[in-house]
Structures are given as C-alpha cells and as structure tokens.
Amino acid sequence: MKTQKKLSTKKMLVTALLAALAYVLNSFVYFPAMAPFQHFVDVLAAVLVGPWYGFASALICGILRMMSGRTIQAVTGAIFGPILGGLIYRKTHNLYLVFLGEVIGTGILGALTSYPLMKIFYGLDVHKWYYFVPYYTPAAIVGAGMGLAVVLIFQKTGLLKRMQASLD
C-alpha cells in the first residue's frame, strides 16, 4: 500500500510539473491561434504518466491559460490528445501512434468540441462545425512532432525506460 501511494505521489508531481511546463512554454513562446507546446507536453505526458494523468496535466494548464485571458479553447484544445495518445500508447507502446493520437485528439476531437462551446459561451458567429480543424491540426502536428522527437531521443539514450520505471 505504501509503495502504491508513493508511486501515485510521483505521478501527481510529474503531472503538475508537466502542466507548469506547458503553461510557461505557452506563455512565453506565443503563436497567434496556436499552442504547439501544449501538444509537445501532451505527448510527454501520454508516454510518461498515461492518459488520465496526462488529461489532468492538460486540464490544469488549460484552466491556468483561461485564467490568463484565453478562451475555453485552451482546455478543449488540450485535453483529448493526451487521453487518446495515452490510451494508444498503453495498448501498443508505439511512440509514432502517440503522435497520431495527439493529432487526432486535438486536431479533430478538440476542434469539434470547441465549436459549440465557442458558439454558446462566446457568441461565435460561424456556420461551419469544422471551423477550428484547420487551426488546431497544424498546431497539433508541430507540437506532437516536437514531443515525438524528444521521446525518441529519450528512448535511444535509455532515459525513457528509466523514467517510466521510476513512475510504474
């Protein structure tokens, strides 16, 4: 029981650090209508802490970004990628499929979820339900690509196995 509690505490700590990393990177390196560093961190979270802690990391960062003046898109554009990427990684252990899960989770699911929320809460006057897909997908591709590159470097150096072993 004590070992399980210790592992849970480690995962929560890494989750908080990943949320802080995403927030800081997205605050200081700004691209209009893009948050590629969120997707970078989402890939790291999916591989290191799994889908649900990855979701928590993205949610925490999204809420912090909303408190800093961003719209609800800061949450909806972040939460689906680590869930889908993490579930795929848990099943396959294929890092390239984590990239794909992040892009589909954010570029499609996040974009489609953002449309009705932006219409309801912010009065968005756009008639295309797929309006956000062309904005979310490139950001997800760039960010997930950076995350994949870092995770592949971690894997090549053996660091990924050591990090995962310390969290399992």
Task: Report the pLDDT value the prediction gives residue 28, as an integer from 0 to 100.
Answer: 81
Q: What is the pLDDT of residues 38-88, one digit of tens each?
A: 999 999 999 999 999 999 999 999 999 989 888 888 888 889 999 999 999
| Full 3-state SS string of the chain | CHHHHHHHHHHHHHHHHHHHHHHHHHHHCCECCECHHHHHHHHHHHHHCCHHHHHHHHHHHHHHHHHCCCCCHHHHCCCHHHHHHHHHHHHHCCHHHHHHHHHHHHHHHHHHHHHHHHHHHHCCCCCCCCCCHHHHHHHHHHHHHHHHHHHHHHHHHCHHHHHHHHHC
Task: Report the pLDDT value the prediction gives residue 63, as an integer from 0 to 100.
Answer: 94
Q: What is the pLDDT of residues 87-124, one digit of tens each?
A: 999 999 999 999 999 999 999 999 999 998 888 888 88
Q: Confirm if 50 and 168 have CB atoms less than 8 A apart.
A: no
Among 8-17, 28-37, 145-154, name the most confident range: 145-154
Q: Confirm if 7 and 49 have CB atoms less than 8 A apart.
A: no
Confidence of residue 1 (pLDDT cuts 50, 70, 90): low
Per-domain boundaries in the chain = 2-167
Q: Please choose, from the candidates 79, 87, 88, the residue with its C-alpha nearest in 3D space to the C-alpha of residue 42.
A: 79
Task: Report the pLDDT value the prediction gives residue 3, as an integer from 0 to 100.
Answer: 63
Rounded distance between C-alpha atoms, residue 146 and residue 31, angstroms: 15
CATH of span 2-167: 1.10.1760.20
Is pTM beyond 0.85? Reply is yes
Confidence of residue 146 (pLDDT cuts 50, 70, 90): very high
CA geometry: angle at 10 spanning 57 and 68, to 5°? 25
Q: How confident is the model over 20-43, as a mean pLDDT?
A: 86
